[in-house]
Amino acid sequence: MCMEYSMKCMCNSREASFNFREEIMPPEVISRVYCPECSREISFDPDSMLADNGWVIEYDMDVARFSALKTPHLLKEELTPALLFDEGYATWRGVYPGDHIDSAREREEIVALARTDPRAYLERIKSWGIKRMERLRQEGWRKANEG
């Protein structure tokens, strides 16, 4: 099970949604979020921050270490922002902030085709996911470049 949580960036102009794998980490593990505009003003600390395509997530690593105590396999790992993000313990909901909203809208547009042109719908839905991930990979999103 994943818990979802949203928070505004530091300049309050954008919002990011997060998932927390198996609810091991609480929302408080994310202390701040910086969008591409407000991230220009910060001093990046790799011990507590993760950068993803202009966005920066600042983690409270004390909260992360305390929360990891309830999960024996995490105690064996070096707890880093990359581990929290890449393993889904405190990561975007989707590939990027707002991905869940954009992908739902894109899917709705394709599903509308099913009523009028089922063959075109099948072709489009098959290629949509592949093309979408390739576009996100080229844009530089970290989760699109996994594996």
Over residues 99-119, mean pLDDT: 89
- Residue 97 has φ and ψ, to the nearest 5°, of -60, 125
Residue 29 in contact with residue 90, Cβ under 8 Å? yes
Task: Give phi and psi for 92, each to the nearest 5.
Answer: -55, 150
d(CA 93, CA 60): 19
Confidence of residue 74 (pLDDT cuts 50, 70, 90): confident
Q: From CA 114, how far away is CA 31, in angstroms rounded? A: 43
Q: Where are the domains of the chain?
A: 2-92, 99-145
* Average pLDDT value over all residues in the chain: 93
Nearest-angstrom CA–CA distance, 123 and 127? 6
- The confidence band for 112, taking pLDDT boundaries of 50, 70 and 90, is confident
Q: pTM for this one? A: 0.89
Tens of pLDDT, residues 15-25: 999 999 999 99
